[in-house]
């Protein structure tokens, strides 16, 4: 039986990097806002596609994790897309709460101003101490 994550042709063939990972970009399906980026190994991608819950691989903890398993801020996958090179995945999601583990709706809450300056452009929406 063919494996759609590995086979060429008309089937999906994800190009995992040398570490066996592919970037998973999470986007709010209703607004288009980019919420986060996480690494996905084959197990995480398969689980995401099967369960419709955004699932990633933690490089630091070396383990598989479902987004929101600690906070309750899960991300229900509405649609998964792959780029033209098949080396990046976009998950269009319904986010059940804020995304960022430091208290913001999106992990992209800072703007780069110049070469060496960051400006916070969003307000915190929760206190991480109350969730984790």
pLDDT single digits (tens) 31-70: 999 999 999 999 999 999 999 999 999 999 999 999 999 8
**Predicted local confidence at residue 52, as pLDDT:** 98
Say which CATH topology domain 22-130 has. Ubiquitin-like (UB roll) (3.10.20)
Q: What is the mean pLDDT of residues 72-86?
A: 96
pTM score: 0.87
Average pLDDT over residues 89-95: 98
Domain ranges in the chain?
Answer: 22-130
Residues 72-77 have a mean pLDDT of 96
126 to 8, 65, 90, 93, 108: CA distances (angstroms): 44, 22, 26, 20, 15
Q: What is the pLDDT of residue 17?
A: 96
């Amino acid at each position: 039986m063919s494996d759609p994550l590995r086979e060429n042709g008309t089937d999906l063939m994800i190009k995992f990097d040398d570490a066996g990972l592919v970037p998973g970009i999470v986007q709010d399906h209703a607004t288009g806002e980019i919420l986060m980026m996480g690494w996905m190994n084959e197990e995480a991608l398969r689980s995401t596609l099967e369960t419709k819950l955004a699932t990633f691989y933690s490089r630091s903890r070396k383990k598989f994790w479902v987004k929101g398993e600690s906070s309750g801020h899960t991300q229900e996958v509405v649609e998964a897309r792959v780029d033209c090179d098949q080396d990046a995945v976009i998950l269009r999601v319904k986010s059940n709460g804020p995304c960022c583990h430091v208290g913001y709706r999106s992990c992209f809450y800072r703007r780069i101003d110049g070469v060496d300056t960051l400006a916070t452009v969003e307000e915190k929406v929760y206190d991480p101490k109350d969730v984790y």
